[in-house]
Structure 1
């Protein structure tokens, strides 16, 4: 009897496993058929008039919508200006060379600030800005030196309030030379330690 009980248990386990396998296997074709029917149903809906047109029509206006004006983008980047006038598209002037500003402490060179700047202006004023490049560079460098000598580049100089104040100072200086300038972009800013 003790020898028969393990054999019966093994046989019952085998038969139970086979039955469970058949049960799991049976819904497979039905679910595959259900998937095929669902695919046919969605294909029929796509072929039906008006069906599926709404997403395509909704996407079409987004694709053909006019892009946001660059002046709004520059305001979002904190250009520091009022943006180009509504009737003209903005133009940009990038200074070909970086600005190097020495930082002195106790009369000794401590570090150097390195900045890349660009100016925003209406397209029609590009030639005026080009003609005043040297004066603009001199004025902006002078303002950067004043900021360096008053501790404006000490501590966390990349904090947004610090950068906003720097842009405002540089914009006021640039507008004193060419009033048409509407924004200052700080493209790169870094401090190189001695």
Structure 2
């Protein structure tokens, strides 16, 4: 009987200890100030940075919905597939603008990605910092052309190559 009861007791002690630790170590949220009208980011994809002049600016990250799949062609056949996920870093909240223009933005991004692939950018050590910097700059230029200068950067949040 004791042999069957001991695992249950140990489980309860472990769960209780975990819950207690979680409550004890949970971050304390500061109380909201009454009458505060300071603009705050409305989701987990924004950060507030304080510039050198003490002025606060909101940086927002907008993740594009779907991955980009780029075929790598060798000898007139698909030799590899590169799969990327991209996000935009913007200086102002631009979720609506990005998603309203997403089809056009995706088309422009795909053209840049196909050009990069055709120039051999995804061959060999395709994750080399210099190669990715060239790609990021090209994507950023396209994003600024489509959405405006509020686009700070294009982030490559995931990249992989699958050889066939």
Q: What's the TM-score, normalizing by structure 2?
A: 0.63
Matched, 1:156 2:125: yes
Secondary structure of 1:89 counterpart: strand
Matched, 1:187 2:125: no
The one of 73, 94, 113 equivalent to 2:82 is 113
Cα displacement (A) at 1:71: 7.7
Matched, 1:93 2:62: yes
Greater strand share, structure number:
2
Greater helix share, structure number:
1
Alignment of 1:126-165 (within 5 A): 126-165=95-134
Structure 1: give runs of 5+ residues left out of the alignment: 1-68, 73-85
Distance 1:111 1:71, change over 3 A: farther
Cα displacement (A) at 1:122: 2.5
Matches of 1:95 and 1:190, distance apart in 2: 17
Give the greater-gyration-radius structure (CA): 1
Matches of 1:162 and 1:152, distance apart in 2: 7
Matches of 1:144 and 1:113, distance apart in 2: 10
Cα displacement (A) at 1:70: 4.6
Task: Specify the alignment match of 1:40 in structure 2.
Answer: none
Matches of 2:82 and 2:95, distance apart in 1: 28
Cα displacement (A) at 1:131: 1.2
Q: What's the TM-score, normalizing by structure 1?
A: 0.54
Size of the alignment, in residue pairs?
113
Alignment of 1:19-38 (within 5 A): none
User: Segments of 4+ in structure 1 off by > 4 A?
Assistant: 69-72
Structure 2: give runs of 5+ residues left out of the alignment: 1-45, 50-54
Matches of 2:152 and 2:59, distance apart in 1: 9
Secondary structure of 2:159 counterpart: strand
